[in-house]
């Protein structure tokens, strides 16, 4: 009875309905003659079979009786005996006087309430006769006379063919007469109760009804005017056909159009969709009791509650069928067609003669066309955008509304996503499979269908469209993005900025990455990027409209084009043309996208495509956030060329903008803000009107963090300011930067000229260029030399950052240093350098690092820490002359060596100097002062020993033996210093120690090493005639004594302290001390004797 309560029904409702007559029984106005059928009705081909003939005859008789002149003006359905009982049982008494009200009451009865067969047939014949009365159009002309005259199109329609009523319905909005409006409205409930009353429907769909067996509900089986089930059957067949690869029972095109037209005509009032009305009556009362019927409001209300637990399955199925019809033809939605009618015409989304009707009418086509207008900044009414939002959300909630998804993703759904059909879960499950989070991936056709659906729904423009994402991320949005307006596209950017942070929840993280995977593959799906860059993309990348594609520039390639123009226009020897550059706003958005993509390899389509094989080969176990990119960077030289190129480009970009290095920012966020003054919040994310700040370079942040870690280490801070997580990530960053000098602008820029001059043929990768500069350090320019020194200082503090050392000695580290701390790797390698298992290349690299360390105490963290009090105490003059960023060429270490020989160092510093002395005694190259001053003498006197490079101290021994032949005073002084040092500790003299090893074991085992104690023990043994030393040891000892004697003559004691040290370390120490004691005693006795001999003073003189 909604037709009475709601006169404003669908303006298109009867445009294809063949209504040819109407009588005064409507109660609108008395006609000149009775509204009676001229003859008893003749049943059509689809009428009941012969066994029901008696009942049909009775009904015909009743109808014929109703047509007698005596009841022409006052005949009522309620007076007929066939329906009196049902009428009194089912219909309110106030409706009995109106035939149409009785008809609607009996049609809309509850499903379980049956009416008598005779009454069924009486109603059917009445409706049939009513709709075929030739006087019907004349009534329309009388009731709507003034309206017809006002509407030119209707006035010109041919009379007698039913077109007049269709025209009036099409211009319903212009009908102002109340009675005319009622006249058009009240016939709808009659026609839609039975498909056989709809003009042309039976003719167009008869064959399909029979082939699909949709005509089983005929007279005698069920209510004769409940033929809505037949239309429902055809509708289900229509949507099922769209989801099938092979059309077993294809529906004829004219029947398809008829089905969609019927659905369109019933889109105003849900009462007119008889199948849905009966299926959802209880649910309408439960969820939409206060929703007024008409204008599709009840449909929309039921759609919104479709996935509620209390919704019946029967109603949910009927609603899904209705939604699928809307997907095929947007006009099946009354509210959408009405709200967007004007906008469709303005944006030229209406019928196109060059497009097939099926495609042009699809919901996805409408959405794409209007979304393109919105993205271009063209005006689209708020009402239309609201309707679009509802239907985009509908597409995201239920995958089955997209026939392409059902058709092409059926295998993936059955294998991975069964039972997850509600609230968008199936769609997100498919996204997860398509993203590659599971062992299998989706078919390319399914992937394409998913991408198309995402573009149609456009969830990037409003996160609320994706219900699964909205529910999962609600808490994160409320806490971290609450300052952004609800529905703003920046919500997604805000969520991405908080990815992998403590504020992010796991479910939101998964839903967000699943959606971003598809958004990242079409630049148009990021509305902010599209808005800022559409002009640049059209100018530089030759793109088309938002909803258009090009084989030459597919959606995934557009961002690559923008990226190239943002970062790759500055070619060597070529001046950048301003016309080839991106606008400032577009470049900011490109940077934002790059920063988001750095969080996950799968968000970078080009990287994932080119590196798919390498990811599986090298990084299959790296599944945590950011580990895949780190893994690819670690294996850069092992990657295929295409993958190596894109990974190298991304790594270089990270060096230019710290925000792109998302893992470092996430790990070190508090420290960078506190100590490095770097904000991890992107200014354009939340304050888009502000002028964007220039990006902070990665090298600046890494240097800041490295300095903080180094200072805390050297100062023995109780608690490190840089967290363990940040320190780990910092090492990775520093190692990456050390691999290619171009990734460190602070180092690369000052050294460009040196590179071209000293290392023109050296490759940049594998830290080869940096190693070349280190080897040519003395020839570098001042600025480059300073930067190299700083780099070496950092590498010595943490050897893991020394790319060449870690690469060359990788296997040796695994063999000897698996349990060593990362910062002690070099120390561990030095201890095992002379092992027989040591790799020669690694041994050579260790020697290089030892040479570097001994050039400056600042490059030896252990020495610097152990001698922090001794250095300023004994070597301050050297420090005063030192430059901050250049080596001291071993001067401080040489100073400490002398103090070691004088036994003046603290115990910790003495231990470290002893190690250095032992190492340099075996290899003269580890003594910078000796090498610097004695290079020529070594070439002249010890060329053979130096060429052998046996690192057994033979060169030092050669210099000692040839001390008298050395001409250069500076070299002679260094050799004398070596002799002095060896006197303090036998371990410093490897040749002597090797010769006397057995004697030390036999005669001096109880003597502690150091401070010359074991050397003194051997000297006493040499003088003791009872002790027999090994001939080689005896010979070497005698040679040393001669050398020390010569050294004492050549370098006499400079003070009392030096004299004391020489006495205490002399082989004749006991003899000298005895003679000194004897001299003192003699002086004492002489004093006593001399005192007695002198004149005594009398007591009287004393007492004066």
> Residue 631, Cβ neighbours under 10 Å: how many?
17
d(CA 772, CA 753): 14
d(CA 978, CA 451): 77
Residue 856 confidence (pLDDT) above 70: yes
Nearest one of 209, 183, 186, 213 to 196, comparing CA atoms: 209
Q: What is the radius of gyration, based on Cα positions, of the chain?
A: 49
pLDDT grade for 58, boundaries at 50, 70 and 90: very low
**Three-class secondary structure of residue 222 per DSSP:** strand
Cα–chain-centroid distance for residue 7?
54
List the single range of 9-23, 338-352, 756-770 with lowest mean pLDDT: 9-23
Sign, CA dihedral 428-432-433-438, equals negative
pLDDT grade for 16, boundaries at 50, 70 and 90: very low
pLDDT grade for 474, boundaries at 50, 70 and 90: very high
Residue 283 confidence (pLDDT) above 90: yes
Given 3-state DSSP classes, what are the helix, strand and coil percentages for the chain, each rounded to the nearest 5? 65, 0, 35
pLDDT grade for 946, boundaries at 50, 70 and 90: confident
Using one digit for the tens of pLDDT, what is the confidence trace for 95-108?
Answer: 888 777 777 777 66
Share of the chain above pLDDT 70, in %: 76
Using one digit for the tens of pLDDT, what is the confidence trace for 766-780?
Answer: 788 999 999 888 899
Residue 287 confidence (pLDDT) above 90: yes
Residue 748 confidence (pLDDT) above 50: yes
Mean pLDDT in residue range 222-249? 74
Mean pLDDT in residue range 993-999? 89
Question: 126 vs 31, which has greater pLDDT?
Answer: 126
Mean pLDDT in residue range 778-789? 90
- CB neighbours of 823 closer than 8 A, spacing ≥ 6? 713, 797, 798, 799, 800, 861
pLDDT grade for 625, boundaries at 50, 70 and 90: low
Residue 854 confidence (pLDDT) above 50: yes
List the single range of 231-235, 514-518, 548-552, 639-643 with lowest mean pLDDT: 548-552
Mean pLDDT in residue range 257-279? 84
Is 774 within 8 Å of 806 (Cβ atoms)? Answer: no
pLDDT of residue 170: 57
Mean pLDDT in residue range 694-718? 75
pLDDT grade for 55, boundaries at 50, 70 and 90: very low
pLDDT of residue 495: 92
> Residue 754, Cβ neighbours under 10 Å: how many?
20
The pair of three-digit structure tokens given for residue 691, joined into one six-digit string: 């002028």
Question: 786 vs 196, which has greater pLDDT?
Answer: 786
Residue 59 confidence (pLDDT) above 70: no
Residue 711 confidence (pLDDT) above 50: yes
Residue 676 confidence (pLDDT) above 70: yes
d(CA 501, CA 504): 6
> Residue 1081, Cβ neighbours under 10 Å: how many?
10
Residue 303 confidence (pLDDT) above 90: yes
Most confident region among 128-132, 185-189, 356-360 by mean pLDDT: 185-189
pLDDT of residue 64: 39
List the single range of 714-728, 844-858, 984-998 with lowest mean pLDDT: 714-728
Mean pLDDT in residue range 304-310? 90
Mean pLDDT in residue range 240-263? 82
Mean pLDDT in residue range 686-715? 67
pLDDT grade for 508, boundaries at 50, 70 and 90: very high
Strand (E) or helix (H) holding 278:
helix 274-279
pLDDT of residue 247: 63
The pair of three-digit structure tokens given for residue 506, joined into one six-digit string: 């796991």
Strand (E) or helix (H) holding 1089:
helix 1069-1093
* Whole-Å CA distances, 1021 to 1034, 1035, 1065: 10, 13, 15
DSSP state of 15: T
Q: What string of H, E and C letters represents the secondary structure of 659-674? A: HHCHHHHHHHHHHHHH
The neighbouring-strand residues paired with 222 are 219
d(CA 557, CA 880): 60
List the single range of 67-71, 694-698, 714-718 with lowest mean pLDDT: 67-71
Nearest one of 447, 367, 463, 374 to 411, comparing CA atoms: 447
Residue 133 confidence (pLDDT) above 80: no
Question: 1029 vs 1070, which has greater pLDDT?
Answer: 1029
Question: 438 vs 786, which has greater pLDDT?
Answer: 786
**Three-class secondary structure of residue 620 per DSSP:** coil
pLDDT grade for 626, boundaries at 50, 70 and 90: low
d(CA 169, CA 336): 19
Average pLDDT over the chain, rounded to an integer: 77
Mean pLDDT in residue range 411-427? 79
Residue 957 confidence (pLDDT) above 80: yes
The neighbouring-strand residues paired with 219 are 222
> Residue 834, Cβ neighbours under 10 Å: how many?
12
pLDDT of residue 559: 84
pLDDT of residue 5: 38
List the single range of 153-157, 517-521, 931-935 with lowest mean pLDDT: 153-157
Using one digit for the tens of pLDDT, what is the confidence trace for 862-911?
Answer: 999 999 999 999 998 888 877 766 677 788 988 998 888 878 889 899 88
């Amino acid at each position: 009875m909604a037709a009475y309560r709601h006169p404003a029904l669908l303006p298109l409702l009867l445009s294809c309905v063949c209504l040819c007559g109407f009588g005064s029984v409507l109660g609108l106005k008395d006609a000149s003659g009775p509204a009676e059928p001229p003859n008893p009705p003749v049943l059509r081909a689809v009428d009941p079979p012969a066994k029901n003939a008696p009942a049909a005859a009775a009904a015909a008789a009743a109808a014929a009786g109703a047509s007698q002149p005596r009841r022409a003006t006052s005949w009522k359905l309620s007076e007929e005996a066939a329906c009196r009982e049902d009428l009194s049982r089912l219909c309110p008494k106030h409706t009995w006087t109106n035939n149409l009200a009785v008809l609607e009451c009996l049609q809309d009865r509850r499903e379980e309430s049956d009416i008598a067969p005779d009454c069924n047939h009486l109603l059917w014949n009445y409706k049939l006769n009513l709709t075929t009365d030739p006087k019907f159009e004349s009534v329309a002309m009388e009731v709507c006379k003034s309206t017809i005259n006002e509407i030119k199109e209707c006035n010109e329609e041919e009379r007698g063919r039913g077109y007049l009523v269709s025209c009036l319905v099409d211009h319903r909005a212009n009908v102002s007469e109340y009675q005319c409006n009622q006249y058009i409205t009240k016939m709808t409930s009659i026609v839609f109760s039975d498909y056989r009353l709809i003009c042309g429907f039976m003719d167009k769909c008869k064959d399909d009804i029979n082939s699909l067996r949709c005509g089983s509900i005929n007279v005698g089986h069920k209510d004769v005017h409940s033929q809505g089930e037949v239309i429902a059957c055809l509708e289900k067949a229509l949507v099922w056909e769209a989801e099938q690869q092979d059309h077993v029972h294809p529906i004829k095109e004219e029947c398809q159009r008829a089905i969609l037209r019927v659905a369109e005509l019933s889109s105003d009032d849900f009462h007119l969709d008889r199948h849905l009305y009966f299926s959802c009556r209880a649910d309408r009362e439960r969820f939409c009791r206060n929703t007024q019927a008409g204008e599709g409001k009840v449909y929309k209300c039921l759609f919104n509650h479709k996935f509620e637990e209390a919704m019946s399955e029967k109603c949910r199925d009927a609603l899904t069928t209705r939604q699928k019809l809307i997907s095929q033809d947007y006009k099946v939605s009354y509210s959408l067609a009405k709200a967007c009618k004007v906008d469709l015409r303005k944006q030229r989304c209406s019928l196109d003669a060059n497009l097939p009707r099926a495609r042009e009418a699809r919901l996805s086509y409408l959405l794409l066309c209007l979304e393109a207008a919105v993205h271009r900044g063209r005006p689209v009414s708020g009402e239309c955008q609201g309707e679009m939002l509802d239907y985009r959300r509908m597409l995201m909630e239920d995958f089955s509304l997209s026939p392409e998804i059902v058709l092409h993703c059926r295998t993936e759904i059955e294998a991975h996503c069964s039972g997850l059909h509600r609230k968008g879960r199936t769609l997100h499950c498919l996204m997860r499979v398509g993203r590659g989070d599971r062992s299998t991936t989706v078919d390319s056709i399914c992937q394409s269908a998913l991408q198309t659906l995402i573009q149609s729904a456009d969830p990037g423009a409003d996160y609320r469209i994706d219900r699964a994402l909205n529910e999962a991320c609600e808490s994160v949005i409320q806490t971290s993005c609450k300052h952004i307006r609800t529905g703003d596209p920046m919500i997604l950017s805000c969520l991405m900025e908080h990815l992998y942070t403590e504020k992010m929840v796991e479910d939101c993280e998964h839903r967000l990455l699943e959606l971003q995977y598809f958004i990242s593959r079409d630049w148009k799906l990021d509305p902010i990027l599209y808005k800022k860059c559409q002009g640049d993309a059209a100018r530089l990348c030759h793109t088309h409209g938002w909803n258009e594609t090009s084989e030459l520039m597919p959606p995934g390639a557009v961002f690559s084009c923008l990226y190239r123009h943002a970062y790759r226009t500055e070619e060597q020897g070529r001046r950048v043309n301003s016309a080839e550059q991106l606008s400032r706003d577009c470049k900011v958005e490109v940077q934002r996208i790059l920063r988001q993509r750095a969080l996950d390899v799968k968000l970078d389509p080009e990287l994932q495509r080119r590196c798919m094989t390498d990811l599986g080969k090298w990084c299959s176990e790296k599944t945590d956030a950011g580990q895949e990119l780190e893994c690819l960077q670690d294996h850069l030289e092992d990657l295929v060329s295409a993958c190596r190129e894109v990974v190298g480009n991304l790594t270089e970009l990270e060096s230019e903008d710290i925000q792109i290095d998302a893992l470092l920012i996430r790990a070190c966020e508090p420290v960078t803000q506190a100590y490095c003054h770097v904000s991890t919040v992107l200014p354009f994310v939340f304050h888009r009107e502000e002028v964007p700040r220039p990006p902070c370079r990665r090298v600046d942040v890494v240097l800041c963090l490295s300095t903080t870690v180094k200072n805390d280490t050297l100062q023995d801070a109780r608690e490190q300011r840089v967290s363990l997580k940040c320190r780990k990530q910092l090492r990775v960053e520093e190692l990456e930067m050390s691999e290619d000098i171009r990734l460190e602008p602070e180092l690369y820029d000052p050294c460009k000229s040196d590179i071209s001059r000293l290392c023109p043929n050296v490759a940049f990768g594998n830290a080869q260029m940096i190693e070349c500069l280190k080897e040519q350090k003395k020839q570098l320019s001042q600025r480059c030399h300073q930067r190299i020194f700083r780099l070496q200082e950092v590498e010595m503090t943490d050897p893991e950052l020394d790319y060449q050392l870690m690469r060359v000695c990788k296997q040796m580290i695994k063999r000897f240093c698996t349990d060593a701390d990362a910062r002690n790797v070099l120390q561990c390698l030095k201890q095992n350098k002379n092992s027989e298992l040591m790799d020669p290349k690694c041994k050579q690299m260790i020697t290089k690092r030892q040479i570097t360390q001994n050039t400056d105490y600042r490059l030896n963290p252990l020495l610097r820490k152990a001698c922090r009090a001794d250095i300023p105490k004994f070597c301050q003059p050297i420090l005063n002359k030192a430059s901050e960023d250049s080596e001291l060429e071993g001067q401080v270490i040489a100073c400490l060596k002398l103090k070691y020989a004088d036994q003046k160092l603290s115990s910790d510093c003495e231990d470290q100097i002893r190690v250095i002395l032992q190492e340099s005694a075996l290899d003269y190259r580890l003594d910078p002062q000796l090498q610097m001053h004695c290079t020529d003498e070594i070439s002249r006197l010890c060329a053979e020993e130096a060429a052998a490079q046996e690192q057994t101290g033979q060169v030092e021994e050669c210099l000692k033996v040839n001390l008298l032949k050395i001409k250069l005073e500076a070299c002679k002084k260094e050799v004398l210093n070596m002799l002095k040092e060896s006197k303090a500790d036998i371990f410093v003299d490897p040749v002597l120690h090797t010769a006397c090893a057995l004697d030390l074991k036999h005669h001096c085992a109880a003597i502690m090493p150091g401070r010359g104690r074991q050397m003194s023990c051997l000297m006493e043994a040499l003088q003791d005639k009872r002790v027999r030393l090994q001939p080689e040891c005896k010979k070497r000892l005698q040679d040393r004594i001669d050398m020390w004697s010569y050294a004492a003559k050549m370098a006499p004691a400079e003070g009392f302290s030096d004299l004391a040290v020489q006495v205490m370390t002399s082989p004749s120490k006991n003899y000298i001390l005895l003679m000194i004691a004897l001299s003192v005693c003699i002086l004492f006795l002489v004093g006593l004797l001399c005192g007695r001999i002198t004149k005594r003073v009398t007591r009287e003189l004393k007492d004066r």
